[in-house]
Amino acid sequence: MIVDPRYDIPRNMEGYGEDSLDPQWPNGARIAVSFVLNYEEGAERSVEMGDGMSEPYLWEKGASGGSREGARYCNAESDYEYGSRVGAWRLLRLFKEFGWNWTTYAIAVAMERNPKFAQACVRDGHEIASHGYRWLDLWDLTVEEDKENIKKSVVSLKKTTGVTPCGVYFGRGSPNTRGLFKLAFEEMGEELLWSSEEYNDDVPYWQDAPHEKDLSDAEKKGQLVLPYNYDCNDGKFHMNPGFVGSHMYLEYLKSTFDMFYREGGKMMTIPMHSRIVGKAGRAEALRTFMLYIQSKPGVWVTTRKEIALHFKSKFPYRPGHLC
């Protein structure tokens, strides 16, 4: 593993403190709700793509799924295919029913292998963000390989979808990846509006970009963070401990929403995977949750791009400050 101190982002144990921050959501909304579709199918580890095994992680057999070293595990491959062939389209129909948009954490190769779905996402107004070129652990990349992987994902997604991502979440990057995002985008002549490579808050905040440390304050642009989470993630159906049955998933989402709604000013993220919550029983639980929050006043269901644009307008970057 290569840890380059030039791209380190120091830990912050204090955050906004006791009173948190009121992001002043549009139209007086009490809560911003961000649905996120992790689209990875066809880009996971597989022998057909030169990897040493089929993907053992986040498919229907969960922790008991296992793997086959040096050989295809067709059960795992087939479960991933369900996500692209069926689950993704089910979720697209569900969100069309509500008129809501998600943010797509899009793996570039997965979109390349299902361009009709990629184009349907754009057609229906869903945001495209980069989730990496392939869905692999990137622990051992050099700094230059790390940057190249970021750039490669952006180029591919732009070609497949016709849209340049303005947000990123890799989740399986190296210790340097989160400090390289903005630099890689700038080297391409593109703007990175937000990153979700953190799990440490319930509201957005600004980070100082490591590569800007020697610039004057007037030249610095910072990096906006929209924190992500694992606790509301449908991936917990395949983790131990995790969700046992769709009822537990539904109740946890509702409890999280209720706490945030009562507190006010929070951002709730609901991470989804087409091969997981795209299964019929879980999709029905998700629909029940969507009906629940639809009945509440002051709920802003939106994309991460819109959240970032709002926050940037209300709280412009100030070097050394969260907001």
Tokens representing 35 are 């649905």
Q: Is the pLDDT of residue 64 over 70?
A: no
Confidence bin at 74 (pLDDT 50/70/90): confident
User: From CA 161, how far away is CA 176, in angstroms rounded?
Assistant: 27
The C-alpha atoms of residue 52 and residue 70 are separated, in whole angstroms, by: 5
Tokens standing for residue 287:
């629909």
pLDDT of 67 above 80: no
Residue 166 lies in a domain: yes
For the stretch 41-56, pLDDT in tens is 999 999 989 988 888 8
30 neighbors 212 (Cβ within 8 angstroms):
no
Rounded Cα gap, residues 32 and 204, in angstroms: 11
User: What span, in angstroms and rounded, lies between the C-alpha atoms of 166 and 153?
Assistant: 12
Lowest-confidence pick of 31-35, 138-142, 182-186, 315-319: 138-142
CB 44 within 8 A of CB 83: no
Average pLDDT for residues 71-95, to the nearest whole number? 95
Give me the phi and psi of 270, to 5 degrees please: -115, 95
Is 8 domain-assigned? no
Assess if residue 39 is contained within a domain. Answer: yes
d(CA 288, CA 222): 39
Q: Among 43, 45, 50, which Cα is nearest to 83's?
A: 43
Q: What is the CATH number of the domain that holds 161?
A: 3.20.20.370
18 occurs within a structural domain: no
Token pair for residue 84?
């692209």
Give the DSSP letter string of 124-148.
TT-EEEE--SSSS--TT--HHHHHH
Question: In the predicted model, what is the mean pLDDT of residues 159-174?
Answer: 97
Confirm whether 233 is domain-assigned. yes
Question: Average pLDDT, whole number, for the chain?
Answer: 96
Is the confidence at residue 201, as pLDDT, over 80?
Answer: yes
**DSSP state string for 268-289:** EEEEEETTTTTSHHHHHHHHHH
Give the bridge partners for 223, in sequence order.
207
Q: Which of 191, 219, 218, 220 is nearest to 206 (CA)?
A: 220
- From CA 307, how far away is CA 112, in angstroms rounded? 27
What is the rounded CA–CA span in Å between residue 87 and residue 278?
Answer: 4
Confidence of residue 192 (pLDDT cuts 50, 70, 90): very high
Q: How far apart are CA 88 and CA 121, in angstroms?
A: 10
pLDDT value of residue 123: 98
8-26 mean pLDDT: 97
CA distance 294 to 296: 6
What is the per-residue pLDDT for 233?
98
Specify whether the CB–CB gap between 320 and 209 falls below 8 A.
Answer: no
Is 153 part of a structural domain of the chain?
A: yes
Residue type, 94: L
Q: Which two tokens stand for residue 249?
A: 């998933």
In this structure, what token pair is assigned to residue 49?
């793509």
CA distance linking residue 29 with residue 299, whole number of Å: 6
Across the range 66-93, mean pLDDT stands at: 91
Would you give the end-to-end CA distance of the chain in angstroms?
33
pLDDT at 63: 62
By CB neighbour count within 10 A (0-12 exposed, 13-18 middle, 19+ buried), where does 221 fall?
Answer: middle
Tell whether 20 is covered by a domain: no
What is the total count of domains within the chain? Answer: 1
What is the model's pTM? Answer: 0.97
- Over range 104-122, report the average pLDDT: 98
Q: Is residue 239 domain-resident?
A: yes
Q: Which domain does 128 fall in, by range?
A: 26-56+63-314
Q: How do strand 127-130 and strand 103-106 relate by DSSP bridges?
A: parallel
Please, what is the angle between helix 280-294 and helix 88-98, to 10°? 20
